[in-house]
Structure 1
Amino acid sequence: MIRPPWRRWTLRTRMVVAVVALAGVALLITDFVAATTLRHFLAQQLDEDVRQLNRFGGGGPWPGGFGNRPQPDASRPGSGSGRSGPSATAPAQPGTGTQPSPSATALPDRTATAQPSPTATAPTGPSAAANQPPCEGRQNTAGFGGLPPGQGDTIVIYYTAQGREICYLSSGITPTEGPQLTLAQIEANAQATGREPPTRLFTATAASGQDFRVTVSRSQDGRYRVSAISMDRVENTANLVLLLGLGVGALVLLGLGFAAYSVVRIGLRPLTNMEHAAAQIAGGDLTARVPSPDPHTEPGRLGLALNTMLSRIEAAVTARAASEQRLRQFLADASHELRTPLTSIRGFAELYRRGGAPPGPELDETMSRIEQEAARMGLLVEDLLLLAALDEERPLQPSRVDLLSVAADTVRDAHVRTPGRTVELAGFEPVTVQGDEHRLRQVVTNLVANALQHTLPDTRVTLRVSHRGGDPAEEMFELPLARVVGPVVAAVGAELDPDLPVAVIEVEDTGPGVPPEHAARIFERLYRADPHRARSHGGAGLGLAIASAIVKAHGGRIELATSPGVGSTFRVLLPLYD
């Protein structure tokens, strides 16, 4: 199915076209309404002009007839009454409103035969001069004495009662160019002559198609006066206004189109920025963002939401990449840790097979080394399995655990394993938490073992148990304050409410401290500061990772505060339950 072309337009094009189209329709309607209103107003004015023409076109009120016919001047040759004299036979004078009618033309017959009016016969005698049409012996002059100027094609025609033309006044047209009327139309629209202007007007059409507004008056003796003014002035003015409105509207639409394009482009700029940002992200640049979104506008809020989403996506992708990198490093480290004891076991077994260890003390030493390496590999596998179990969030075995007892047992074990080292317990008030006692013992043991393995023989290691927070009114037992060794540089676990009571386990040493480049990764699995994997201090780099995983499983937090040359303090914070 072929899609319409407008469906392939951009949003900017659609909005501009819609604005221009709506404005065009509004302007078109406005132009037509204005032209129609003007035409109606001008038509009303034209009707009033026709009434004035009918009343004053014959020279003003005419008692008993059409108007006050001026009497011929007796001093002029040929003056007299009736149609005698030069004025009755004078030729038509171009450009004037007075046209003699030497051969009067009869109107077309009406559909039904008209009965002559009792007054249809022209009067004779001394009063005949007073009833003569005013167009005889007169010239068209400006003002009410003749035809009003500036009206366009104007004509006043006088007819007898039988419909024969007597004479006419015009602005330059002849009766044949004026409105085409029948006697029936004249009789139907005729009004008796009076001092009030006529109210009955109608539209008649000339042979050329030109429209006239017409009114008809009937004198007391039955003759008719037809007054007509062309409607060309009304139509031409209204059409001119309409054309001007259309032309101005076209210019307005052109300017509006450019203005709408600029406004829409500015309004859609945030969407354009989003489009560019999306294109950059699709190209692999996850750092692309929508620049400076305005939170007070809908596109701006959309841009803020998009930036937030992109930040989360970038963080998720970065975390995933880091996780994959840690997984690869973990697999490499685990493989190395497992390969080392396996290589030792295989080497001693091959030595025995080749007879390099004859029965006796040498063979016993070989078997002892094989056993040690196998046990070491077993411990490593158990640690890895423990981490996997903690990652799966397997349920612990909670019970009430006395942390002071756990700390005291750990100190005694350290004295047995390393009798030459100084390991002290600070504080002797019991602190009880709810947790898995075996796992918590493993945490304390790993922290103390880590301090002993990575410090010099003369370094002092202090284990401290305390609690903090809770109800200020509660009586708190006093504990020795921990030595300030430096800021917290690494932490793993939940953020604990400082207003809630927590149990604190601290393992402090006076060693060289943890270098800053290693402190941030100290709790990672299989991570050791020794890049050459030296065995001078032992360990596979899983002790602190296991400790942090166990603390997290208990809803706690483990922190490292260290400063080079001052020492280190590992602090475990656990929720304290009554």
Structure 2
Amino acid sequence: MTIPSIRLARPRWSLRRRLVLAVVGLLAIVAIVIGSISVLALQGFLMNRLDDQLSAANGRSQTGFGPPGSQPGDAPSDPFTNQQLQRTFDRQAPETVIGIIAGSTVAGVRKDQSGTPVNLSTAQSKPLATVPSTGFATTVSLGNGLGSYRAIAVEYANGVRVVTALPLGEVQTTLLQLGLIIAIVTAAGLVLAAFLALWIVRVALRPLERVVSTATRVAELPLDRGEVALGVRVPDQDSDPRTEVGQVGAAINRMLGHVASALTARQASENKVRQFVADASHELRTPLAAIRGYAELTRRGDYDLPDDVVHSLGRVESEATRMTSLVEDLLLLARLDEGRDLESDPLDLSRLLIDAVSDAHAAGPEHGWSLELPEEPVTIHGDDARLHQVFANILANARVHTPAGTDVVTAVAIDGTNAVVTVTDDGPGIPPDLLPVLFERFARADSSRSRAAGSTGLGLAIVAAVVEGHGGAVEVQSEPGSTSFRVILPITAPVDPRPEVVPITAEPVAR
């Protein structure tokens, strides 16, 4: 069995945080190195000074006990004489320790602050025996409240050694105080450096924030539709190629220039196509009406026509009718694209839904149709004919693309300042890959089926265009067994025709 490795997600820090932490971390390393070197240098200086003092004290001890090789005391068991002890301690500084090692006997005496010799205990004297007679200072710990000492030993006759020791307490206290001062000053300096670095980095990154603000405004523009005058640019002060941020700003300005050119070319192409569709639709209405009229006139005339000719005339009339519907839909979309052809009058949405559901029931009696209305009429401002077409298209979509026996429920409710109409059916649902493009033009799940049912793929595109023209929105949710269209319309807001051009200009970033 293989145990999968677990990789912990690395924290994503902002550039500002990384820069501040890098500066503070670098300063902390420098401060620690400088502080450590300072402490070590002072320690070396104080230890050298103490060793010099120890050498002088050792010389005074030799003056009291005699030169090396002589007998320091009356006997090994009594290494000190009162005269030698007094003569030695008279010359030493307070806290000086003198010890004599004779065989296994170790005796030590400390001169206190008052100048009185104080005998050391056996446990305190024992570490003095570890000091070698090399003539070099050694650090020993006497313990029991005495702490560490620097000691030097001199060997006399019969293997007797005299040890002179000075306390390290003052050196250690000085080093501790210095270390504490360095730590406090370093901590205070790092805190101050952090605030200064944060302020400096914030000021340094303001041009980058303005660049980000420009890019954000561009990202929020509706570039996918309509004519857009892309006037957003990074300010000149933030597009100087001599700086890193300026290089980014200059690159964004060049990119925006290319995007603006592409949008202009796209809009020009769309305008040509839209104008062609509008002109073609308008020009086709008259000949299509003539074709339908002559076909119907011939079919209904008092002529003895063969059955196949009558059938052919019926097919010509039905196809002309379907083509006329397609032309009318294309012409309506072209007009809606221009923000025209919508009225804004008070209308009873409840009555409009009653008419739409009644028409749907007449067209598809094999389906179950129901309508849920509030007790009070729902009045909104809008184009009565176009909104009737919206709900007729949605209900027709439910009728055409669901099997017989499907229940279709239409409901209206008030949500704040909006009227919300939902059309829900319990049919097979909409394919998931069709949902993202459902409201686009000529979007059909099955072109052959749709053509047989008379669908052009423009019904839901008209729904979206009309609803957006009323300042509303249309949503759809679908899964097997439940499909729901949700139309949201403002209650009192008048129709706001969409402008042909959406000018966007750069605005300074407030700081």
TM normalised by structure 1 equals: 0.40
Q: Compare CA radii of gyration and give the structure with the larger one.
A: 1
TM normalised by structure 2 equals: 0.45
Greater percentage in helix:
2
